[in-house]
Amino acid sequence: MKSMTNSTFKPAWWLKNRHLQTLFPSLCRRVPSPELHRERIVTSDGDFLDIDWCGTNTDSPLVILLHGLSGSSNSGYIKGLQRALQKNNLRSVTLNFRGCSGEYNNTSRCYHSGETNDLDFLYRTLREREPNTHFSIVGFSLGANVLLKWLGERGNSVSLSSAVAVSTPFVLGICATTLDKGFSRLYRANLLRELKKYMNDKWLHLEIHRNSFEAEKIKQCGDLSKIKSFWEYDNQVVAKLYGFKNAHDYYAQSSSRQFLKKITIPTLLIQAKDDPFMTTDVIPNTSELASCVKLELTQNGGHVGFIAGKNPFRPVYWLEQRIAAFLTKTI
């Protein structure tokens, strides 16, 4: 497999701006929800993971889906891909990271860009149930970083047909700084507002349910109201909750770029040069990629956008087509 591949993606003429590519799917797309079945899996620390299944044919391959920051199985890009996979006779199951399923978890633990234990737990659980099934995994944004880090950490200990990572924040520190500049500050403000509200609500939930030990961990993070950047949030919240020295330490340990050389399964990286969540400095060189990793780099596409088509009333969601085609080819 070559490390670089030419992309077939051509942005819609009416969505060539990187911000339009990024915002259009979330603001303008209405994806009919596929028929889902929710399952709750109890974790070893007494908490739970909610996963959403799409498809019932247990003889077909299974694709695990990982959403991005503040996303869930209800995100448009997840539902759109589930429907595309279903058309290609592929089952899928979405991992809602802790706190993202619509219910508060039992502990102070949530999720972050380097948290791979829950993915590993889910994979091991499903692999034990279905030892002969072909598995693949697709991750978006934060979920893509988690996926690539996990693949590099686990190496040959996982049995997968393939993996796809979309709009990956390969170097977290650069991404955090990029979101402090220009129009990208609007994305930062929206994401931080959601994160701070969630943490405050989570603390209240734990207090109401008399889980004062876990509630105290969140309280020790201090006043979140004045936080205005991801550097501040990750330094004050993520580092304290998960045992990192500070935000620098968190970014250094969790950035997925350093793990790409250790990946052992066919993996496709789909990345746009104009992604407003990062700069081109985060994009790995081909020398940093394992031989089984392919980088598909596009000039345009924004962040988890990649919308094509000539007719504004009939946009083409190229990303779903590309992912489905890659997965069916590698099974």
CA distance 268 to 137: 11
Distance CA 239, CA 216 (A): 15
Q: How many CB atoms lie within 10 A of CB 312?
A: 12
H helix or E strand, kind and range, residue 176: helix 172-178
* Radius of gyration for the chain, computed over Cα atoms and rounded to the nearest angstrom: 19
Determine which helix (DSSP H) or strand (DSSP E) holds 151, and give its type and residue range.
Answer: helix 142-154
Q: Both ends of the chain: CA-CA distance in Å?
A: 15
Task: Give catalytic residues, as residue numbers.
Answer: 141, 275, 303
* 289-291-296-297 Cα dihedral, nearest 10 degrees: 30
